[in-house]
Amino acid sequence: MKKLLVSTLAVACFGLGAHAYDAQQAALFDGFYSKMTQEACANSTLFIDGEETMKRLRDKSDMLLLDVRTDGEASVLALSAPNSLHIPLASLFQKANLDRLPADRLIVIVCHSGTRATMAAMALKQLGFKQTRVLKGGMIALAEANNPKNAPLK
C-alpha cells in the first residue's frame, strides 16, 4: 500500500510539471498575437518586397539589412552593402548581438526565403525593435530585384 501511495504521489508531482508552461511568456504571446486579426494581417507592414529594398539601398536609406542565414549560407553568397550585418539566427538573441542592432531605424531582415527572417522579426518586435521588416521572398527576391534600374550606384 505504501509503495502504491508513493508511486501515485510521484506520478502526480512529475505529471504536473510535464503539463506546466511559462504563464508569463504565454501572457506576452497572448498580448502580441491577439492583435493579429484577419484585418491586421491583411494590412501588415511586416513585409517589404525586393524592389522596395533595392530602392532603399540605391537611395542610401537609413536602414540596416540584417542577414540571419547560417555562416555556411553567407559564405556562398554574402551581402556586401555597407549597411548590412550578418548575424545567424542561432546567435541573434545573445546580448552582444542584440546590442549591435539599432532601435531607432529600419531593420530589414533577410534569410534564404523569408521563414527564418519572419521568426526573427516577430521576436525582435516583442523585444522592442519596432521598425523591423522582413524581406518577402528573402535572398531570392533580392536577387530578382537586383537589376540596372535598382542596383546601388558605386
CATH of the domain at 128: 3.40.250.10
Quick check: is 132 in a domain?
A: yes
Quick check: is 20 in a domain?
A: no
Quick check: is 154 in a domain?
A: no
Residue 101: domain span? 45-145
pLDDT at 23: 87
pLDDT at 102: 95
* Tally of residues, the chain: 154
Buried b (16+ CB within 10 A) or exposed e, 105-122: ebbbbbbbebebbbbbbb
> Residues in the chain with pLDDT < 50?
none
Local structure of 108: helix, strand or coil: strand
pLDDT at 1: 57
pLDDT at 117: 94
Quick check: is 119 in a domain?
A: yes
Quick check: is 25 in a domain?
A: no
- Give the total number of structural domains in the chain: 1
Quick check: is 72 in a domain?
A: yes
Give 152's DSSP letter: P
pTM score, whole prediction: 0.74
